[in-house]
Amino acid sequence: MVKRITVAFMRSISFAILLACLAGSRANGDVGVILNESLDSSVEWVTGSGHTAVYFSRICPDSPVKLRLCRPDEEGSVMSNYINLGEDQRYEWNIVPLNLYVYGVQDTRYRPVFGSPKIKKLLEERYRDRALSAYCSGESCMTSDKAEWREMVGAGMSRSMYIFVVETTVEQDLDLIAKFNALPNENHFNGVTRNCADFTKDIINAYFPRSAHRDLINDFGMTSPKAVARTFTQYALAHPESHFRVLHFSQLPGTIKRSSEARSGTEQLYHSKKLLIPMVIFAADGVPVVAAAYVLTGRFNPRHEFETHPAAEATQVGNQIHAVKSEAGNVSADQLEQIVIQDREEILGTPGEWKKYHKLFDTIVDDAVREEIVPNRGYVNHIFKRLDEIGAPSADSEGSLWMDVRSRDDSSRVGLSVNNIFAPGSDPRLAFELLLARIDHVLKSPKHSRETMLEFKDDWSLLQYARVRISAPSTSTRYTATRRAIQSTDKSD
């Protein structure tokens, strides 16, 4: 059993190793365009544009507003700007560690199993206390939900994202560090001429001149996140020496509203009924023009680019190909292609593989219902919601996340992080239910918001171990306060 959990734990940090591989040797760093999906709120409800930021593998925060080269144990960073970060000074941009941006924690072992507004708020406050206190001391900055520094913490709870990555040199990174540390960090945000996409475009062009630009036709003269991602991808594909690849981070399962695919201007008009119907009524003559512009010049599918150029292709597979060539001399194109295909399938999974897991999961749920571990199949669909309603998240001194659940008679708790979901004091049944809900969510997700097969196999290993734990004699007859509270919620629904 110890061996099983050790294997599961080692697999659970494989994605962190993948991130570390991106940084690779410090002879070559990376820069990337981050394309965040749309939240369908505020202006994004109309535009569907999403958000964009910049990823660095070799540049890290010396502070939220100063840059330095990363140390060997660091995994890079994300720099972004917003309408108003809400801090004591009107900074144009902040920079945070990559893992903190995606998961809300710097060490991926502590990343939460599921996301909720409560958990995200907890992680935001921890970051403010530990890193942002000198820049965020005003009442509004500390308490307002509109302070957009919060968007830099656990963004992966709110939306899925793609990162379009190419290699950089040390000289390029040092030049950017010197430039941004010397320039005044003052906010001059303008939605038309100086928005988040303009900010990202200017940084990318500082590395590779004219590699990213706006799409005057499809975005009506403005710069959109998708246009920057599309034009940068076109540039990278035209320069194979850049070792282009794409990362994908799916939105964390949980109770936060699901994000939607980012769109350009004409694409939003083409696909969105809420805009297309009024346009048909009031500007019918423009509909064919919009459709033609999008179909002929504006199409760009981030998911397709990810499937064609998954992140490991330029690191793991690239290294494999180099090793094969070095040891065996001439290697056939078919052999090299097979290496690429195998690696791609390992990351993405095949349709048959996903179908197999669907069937296996149905069997696990059916067994859990028959053994009265869960009351019925529909119960799994509401586990996150019910836990969020009756539970309170907390973090211990080491950064591990917990959910405390109280009823009238008793209380229970469960670990919310990969490192402590099976820790002493973590309710075994509730851990099993959380993993059931996570697996169920992933299997139901569309491709653009589904995690990779590498991540899913980590989840699957944890679920299998959780199932073994609750079958043990010491736990098989133990019904916790959490179970009673949740079942009472079922009866009142």
In this structure, is residue 346 part of a structural domain? Answer: no
Question: What confidence category does residue 354 fall into, taking pLDDT thresholds of 50, 70 and 90?
Answer: very high
Residues 96 and 157 in one domain: yes
User: Of 254, 287, 314, which residue is a domain's last?
Assistant: 314
pLDDT bracket for residue 304 (50, 70, 90): very high
Residue 479: which pLDDT band, with cuts at 50, 70 and 90?
Answer: very low
In this structure, is residue 44 part of a structural domain?
A: yes
Which two tokens mark 313?
Answer: 């292709």
Q: Which tokens in the block code for residue 257?
A: 């509203």
Neighbouring residues of 361: CB distance < 8 A, sequence distance ≥ 6: 439, 440, 443
pLDDT at 47: 63
CA dist list (Å): 265 to 202, 216, 302: 20, 10, 16
**Residue 361 pLDDT class (50, 70, 90 cuts):** very high
Pinpoint the alpha helices (H) of 217-315: 225-237, 265-271, 273-282, 286-293, 302-308
Is 295 contained in some domain? no
Q: 75 pLDDT band (50/70/90 cuts)? A: very high
Model-wide pTM > 0.75: yes
Shared domain for 307 and 399, answered yes or no, is: no
**Mean pLDDT for the stretch of residues 118-133:** 97
Is the pLDDT score of 80 beyond 70?
yes
Do 83 and 232 fall into the same domain?
Answer: yes
Same domain, 234 and 379: no
Examine residue 292 and state whether it is found in any structural domain, yes or no: no
Q: Is residue 283 situated within a structural domain?
A: no
**β-bridge partners, 36:** 51, 161
CA angle 184, 185, 187 (to 5 degrees): 120
**Are residues 378 and 245 both part of a single domain?**
no
How far is 115 from 102, CA to CA, in rounded Å? 12
| pLDDT tens digits along 186-214 | 999 987 788 999 999 999 999 999 999 98
User: Lowest-confidence range among 119-128, 325-334, 342-351, 483-492?
Assistant: 483-492
Percent of the chain topping pLDDT 90: 65
Tell me, what's the pLDDT at 43? 57
210 and 114 within one domain? yes
Q: Are residues 110 and 195 in the same domain?
A: yes
Of the ranges 3-12, 51-60, 416-425, which one carries the lowest mean pLDDT score? 3-12
Per residue in 235-293, pLDDT (tens digit) is 999 999 999 999 999 999 999 999 988 886 566 665 555 545 544 444 444 445 444 55
Within a domain: 433? yes
* Per-residue pLDDT, 293: 52
More confident residue, 472 or 184: 184
* 245-249: strand order across its sheet: 93-97, 77-81, 51-56, 29-36, 161-168, 245-249
Higher per-residue confidence, 424 vs 17: 424
pLDDT digits (tens, 9 = 90+) for 307-316: 999 975 333 4
Average pLDDT, the chain: 83
> Do 307 and 453 belong to one domain?
no
Is residue 248 located within the same domain as residue 375? no
Q: Domain limits at 189?
A: 28-264+300-314
Domain contains 331: no
Q: Are residues 141 and 235 in the same domain?
A: yes
pLDDT in tens, 30-49: 999 999 999 876 655 456 77
What domain count does the chain have?
2
Q: 77 and 172 share a domain? A: yes
Tell me if residue 131 falls in helix, strand or coil.
Answer: helix
Average pLDDT over residues 214-228: 81
The SS3 assignment for 144 reads coil
User: Lowest mean pLDDT: which of 9-18, 142-151, 224-233, 240-249?
Assistant: 9-18
Amino acid 410: pLDDT: 75
In what helix (H) or strand (E) does residue 184 lie, and over which residues does it extend?
Answer: none
Give dist(CA 316, CA 243) in Å, integer.
12
Identify whether 13 is part of a domain. Answer: no
pLDDT of residue 491 exceeding 80, the answer is no
Specify whether 399 is located in the same domain as 304: no
Q: Assess contact for 179 and 141: CB atoms under 8 A.
A: no
Reported as a single tens digit per residue, the pLDDT across 136-147 is: 999 999 999 999
Q: Yes or no: say if 259 and 37 are a contact pair by the CB < 8 Å rule.
A: yes
